[in-house]
Chains A and B, each alone.
Chain A
Amino acid sequence: MNLTYLFVLIWLAFLISSGVMLFSRGFLLARVSKTETSTCRRLSTNPNAEYVLTDEVVNEIFKDVNASSNLCLPQKSKVIVLVVDALKYEFGLYRANATDPLPYENKLVVLQELLQQNPDHARLMRFRADPPTTTLQRLKGLTTGSLPTFIDIGSNFASPEINEDNIIDQIVKNDLPVVFLGDSTWTDLYPHRFKRSYSYPSFDIFDLDSVDNEILKHLPKELESKDWQVLVAHFLGVDHCGHKHGPMHEEMARKLGEMNEVIRSVVAAMDNDTTLLVMGDHGMTASGDHGGDTDDETNALLFAYSKQHRFYGNDSGSDSEMLQQIDLVPTLATILGVPIPYSNLGLVNFNIVPDLRVPHLNKFQTLLLHSWQNAQQIYRYFFQYALENKRTFNVEQMDHLETEFILLTHRVQTVYNEVAFKSFVRDLNTNLRDILGTCREIWVRFDPTQMSQGLLFTFLPLFFIFLVVNNSRPADFPHIFKAKEVFYVYLINLAAGVFGYRYFKTFSFKTEEQGVIFFTAISSAVILAFHTLRHWTSIATNWSAVKRFGHMPTRLLLFGSMAVFFSNSFVIQEAKILSYLLAAAILLLSHELLRLSARLDFRTKFKASQFLRSTALRLILASVLAICLIRFAYTLFRCREEQGNCSDFVNTGGAGFSLKKPGTGKTYILAVVVLVVYTTLTRLYLRSCGNLTGNLPNVLLARYGPTVASICAGGHILLANSSIKHIQRTHIDAMALVIYGLLLVQIIVLSWAPLMTFVLPPRSSHTVTINGNESIVPEIFRKMKRMYEGDDDERRSHIPVVYGLATVYSSIVIAFGVFLALVMIVLLEPRASIGLVVCVAVGAILLSVHSILRYRTATSFESCVQPTFTALVGWFLLAHFCFFATSHQTTLSQIEWRAAFVGRTTGIGQSNLVSGALVILNTFCGPIFFFCMYSLLSTETFSLFALFPNLIRSCRSGGKVDASTSMSDLANEAVGFDMTRGELSLYEYEDVFLGTGFKLATQFFMLQGLKIFCAMLACTIHCRHLMVWKIFAPRFIYEALATFVSLPALIVGYLLVLRIHRGVDTLIKRINKAKVH
């Protein structure tokens, strides 16, 4: 019976997640990659080759230029490619009269010298990248010449081998040896392609020198070697310096100076037949980061140099100011005499092609052949793609482009002189750029069918959850979700999934996934509708009992948090909006508590002295403290570019770069102090509950584990972020690994023996003593006596006394939360760690205020264990507010990638799965933590009452107080059942408790599902908005990931409650058995 609810939760999580997945497939449409390759017959000047370039061949070519697409002209030169990661365009500019240059200014002086000495042999251009600007995506664009799509962001962890045609494969296939040095991303993308490779992992983004030093060790002898035609070197120091220090740091000056010397030495060592290309794969923001689509991130630098031969000039018709990164691919193919890759969309830029005279051809004939081969390759790819993927492109647009192409094919036959060539090339370039624009527009095209189905299949589970679960009482759940029926539900879904997998084409679905999701969603909706109809009587009865406007203020807060997605301004300022709504939720709880206390405590006359001593004042002060903490978290928020005064993105006149401040020592000290205070307070709380007594495994772990973990976390905070240079990274990693290990041990102990109780051994009757200092033990003793009806003196001496039974559920959840929080703290940066602890404090205050409010308004056990809707929404808002309080922002540039390397800088466990898990844990620490701990909303009322029984006196101060009246009778009179047993009452009413836990989890499912539904709806409404890829799509991606993380976290929270409940059941049975014996 207990596991039935768990399987229902898993089923509902699957339904919501599959709807979100379906929508994301339609919204973040991927470009279909093709595996065809280009081929050509290479014309050679060697008389003994298979295909020789002669006068007769040239005459044949120009009889029909259209038939020349399978010919390649001879190679022009060898090529050296120096990729300096994150080399920004502004880094290469030279300000002659700079009296006080910035750290990145005027460092690459060799470029300026070469430009001045040999203007015709050197080129400096802007190198425009397509977003997203991560190295992997940029390398794909630089080698395939094709457009990345948004869906490629997901593959950033995987580094899969490229299976499309690309320039590296073309070079290798045409027997041109390639040597590679530097970033191992290249060898991941292109394994076994290089004649020699010296690849080094780009793992440690805080290491500025290792990869570059290794390149410098091997580069000189490779330059002297004669057995390669292409040499590629990828330097990482500038990029890592940007991540660690930002561009406004002396280390950036040092790294750029090093690059300057590298370029100088390469220029000196290269021979006359070599072309040097120096480029950045992307730029960087003012804070040294990249990944998004700002101008700072997409503007890289390209420098080209040829020692002996001049480059073609402006008369070739190519742009001399800006080069698209995809244009590099056909340009390299032209220089090397190899085919242009199949799916290239870039144009040859002749400004960086050496002007070598081809025998038997004049200059413009050469340019014409190159341009026309480029054009024919693009046309072939474009129309083939359109043919195989129907309905991809607009029909009229296709006809227009095809008509222009046909006109150009006729016109190319009549190009006989320079004037005609220039006119033709200009029109040709315009047409090819139109194709590129068409593809750019289309490959972010949205699939309306999948989007609408995703919206529908996300909404249907929410609707039926609201009807079935939210309007039923926990006592009804055993009838609604029977174990056998849940098993049948899984069987039906399995059958529907198999059916969808087999027959997806019959229903015109694009993928098997869509078929599976469609049919499982339909069958599940039918099953839920059946459940609704079958239990409609009780549902309608419960629904009519609810007050019509009972939750109106809280619903307004919920509406406000959902409305954030529909305005780009609200998305930009979401951190402050969430804090505003969260403060309002806390004020609502305080208002209800104050109104209740006023009626009870000050019945006839208001007395200031009585108010100052009352519980209500303390709780109101606690609420004010919580709101002050939320206000303090403003200082921890991270800003984004659209907030006009964002210091991370200021770029006024190039002089506005800001230092990427690593944080002052005070921040580190404050983070460590906050951490120690958190672990100490938690330990004191558990001790006062009696849960740290005895020698059970979880007791020992909770007693000593947080101390060890906080010492390691504090050490890690101080050492990992400091500038001490001689510290061993192995030692820093060991601290993080200790914390990881403690969490694993905690999980193992929870699975094995989760309880934190202590059973006193039985004593003989004449030596029984009660420790007067313990306020809990006498209560537990009397309750145990009354529970087991030990009336006679003989059996009374054998009644066991158990420490910590009053808080048996919440103590284990809190102890687990400590280890989870410490893992997150070590992954977060110091300021963000403060934010996490601040949110934990706000959560504790929220629990306290709500628990007392719940106690004072409860009329039965069920109303005591079921939280109010205001507390539910408050907890939900707090979980998402924690995302911003831990210095995160919903932009792709501001993902904290450094979390993947915490504890792993020595290469331990080089697995992308572990890296992804650590980054997810860092980014979504708020939802994970608060949803794992959601059961505290149910249990905290009981533990607070067990710890502070005098709360009940406030309720009865107006009536006649009789000293002989027992606490049990008072509790019975107040709430209808005996509450003095604390959380042991939850075990007595286990059906209601587990049912309420299930209901609470499904309510959080509804809130999260409603949130992601609004995010998807906003993306649908704004899919043509100017800011959709900057604002709404990243927001949807973050919310989708939060959904995929939150639903499992809620399931983990419920699983934790089930496990504790089984432990309590075992303990009670063991005590019963001992008693009988």
Chain B
Amino acid sequence: MVSRFDQQKTKHQLFHVSLSLATILICMAYMQYRRNWAHLGSFWDSLVVPIVFLGELLKVVLARFYGKVEDGVLTAKQRQKKNSYFTPRELLGGFTLQFLCTLLYAFICIILGAPVLGNYEQTFVLALLMTLLTVSPTVFLLGGGGALQVCFCEKPDFVTKCEDTALNLFKYNALGGILGAWAGSVVAPLDWGRDWQAYPIPNVIGALLGSALGNIYACTHVLYATARVYMTKKRT
């Protein structure tokens, strides 16, 4: 017996990863276009946060699209969850969760070395970017309560197959973003005297690059699995 090759899932995964990489490429192109990177720490003067936000939304829309195509039959719990997606309670819960996560990230930035009595806008922008890369996709996909369930508990019953695929890919994005932002501080102590060494520019760029690396790793994973299936099929 040969394993059935899931063509739809692979398409979904590759499309998802392409969207992530495209988002980051657009951010890099935008930064290159602006040349002066000091604006990265400004909330109103930078488009990085809106670009990342739109990228995450597109990925969620993609998951919805493939879910509509493939998830023909929903279980009772899945149907109930889907119906309650746009209720005010769920929307408020999701917004509250993202807000709390932004505050948590800002606090972590401060206790890891960001200035305590200054640079609030820069810290807020970095925290917001971290939230968009890590928590917001899950909240957009499943709502506030669903996100908490997925993070802290075993796999809930209401998660559909396409949602599960998207959640697995979101993990790489989140992990890469966190590690990249943390590693971005490596240039801060150096005495090169460049403009882009100022806080939070290295951490923002580090988060974006880390996220890109995470997605590249995920893409490699998907392609490797696909190649293995084809090799198995060819050998048979």
Contacts and interface: CB of A to CB of B under 8 A. Distances in A.
B112 A580 contact: yes
A579 B191 contact: no
A631 interface: yes
Contacts of B111: 583, 624, 627-628, 630-631
Given A583-B111, A631-B110, 19 more contacts: A560-B186, A569-B189, A572-B189, A572-B191, A573-B189, A576-B113, A577-B189, A580-B113, A583-B112, A598-B151, A602-B153, A603-B154, A604-B154, A606-B145, A624-B111, A630-B111, A631-B112, A631-B113, A634-B113
A512 B191 CA distance: 43
Interface in A566-591: 567-570, 572-573, 576-577, 579-580, 583-584
11 contacts: A569-B189, A569-B190, A572-B191, A579-B113, A580-B112, A584-B112, A624-B111, A628-B111, A631-B110, A631-B113, A631-B116
A634 B114 CA distance: 11
A627 B111 CA distance: 6
Contact of B152 (A579, A606, A631): A606
Nearest to A624: B111
Contacts of A602: 152-153
Interface string B106-118: 0000111100100
B81 to A, nearest CB: 13
Interface in B180-219: 182, 185-186, 188-191
A201 B226 CA distance: 83
B39 to A, nearest CB: 25
A583 B15 CA distance: 37
B149 interface: yes
A603 B149 CA distance: 9
A226 interface: no
Nearest to A570: B189
A606 B149 contact: yes
Contacts of A572: 189, 191
A604 B189 contact: no
B103 interface: no
A611 to B, nearest CB: 8
Nearest to B153: A602
A568 B191 contact: yes
B28 interface: no
A598 B186 CA distance: 32
Contacts of B112: 580, 583-584, 627, 631
A567 B153 CA distance: 44
> Majority SS of interface residues in chain A?
helix
A605 B188 CA distance: 42
Contacts of B191: 568-569, 572, 642
B154 A584 contact: no
- Give the interface centre of A572, A584, A598, A605 by most chain B CB atoms within 10 Å: A605
B113 A605 contact: no
Interface of B: 110-113, 116, 145, 148-149, 151-154, 182, 185-186, 188-191
Nearest to A608: B148
A603 B153 CA distance: 5
A606 B154 contact: no
A599 interface: yes
Contacts of A584: 112, 182
Contacts of B151: 598, 606
Contacts of B182: 584
A604 B113 contact: no
B153 A604 contact: yes
Contacts of A576: 113, 189
Nearest to A634: B113
A599 B185 CA distance: 32
Contacts of A606: 145, 148-149, 151-153
Nearest to B149: A606
A29 B127 CA distance: 51
A959 to B, nearest CB: 15
A1070 B70 CA distance: 76
A1044 to B, nearest CB: 28
B223 to A, nearest CB: 21
Interface in A525-578: 560, 567-570, 572-573, 576-577
Nearest to B157: A604
Nearest to A626: B111
Interface string A617-643: 000000010011011001000000010
A873 B99 CA distance: 34
Contact of A605 (B110, B153, B190): B153
A627 B107 CA distance: 11
Contacts of A630: 111
A572 B189 CA distance: 8
Interface in A479-506: none
Contacts of B110: 631
Given A631-B110, A631-B113, A598 B189 contact: no
Contacts of A579: 113
A117 B113 CA distance: 59
A642 B186 CA distance: 18
A553 to B, nearest CB: 9
B185 A580 contact: yes
Nearest to A611: B152
Nearest to B148: A606
Nearest to A584: B182
A488 B139 CA distance: 67
Nearest to B116: A631
- Give the interface centre of B152, B154, B185, B190 by most chain A CB atoms within 10 Å: B152
A576 B188 CA distance: 10
Contacts of A580: 112-113, 185
A603 B154 CA distance: 6
- Give the interface centre of B153, B189, B191 by most chain A CB atoms within 10 Å: B189
Contacts of B152: 598, 602, 606, 611
Contacts of B189: 567, 569-570, 572-573, 576-577
A561 to B, nearest CB: 13
A738 to B, nearest CB: 39
Interface in A634-666: 634, 642
B134 to A, nearest CB: 13
Nearest to A597: B152
A583 B107 CA distance: 13
A100 B133 CA distance: 58
A603 B152 CA distance: 8
Contacts of B116: 631
Contacts of A583: 111-112
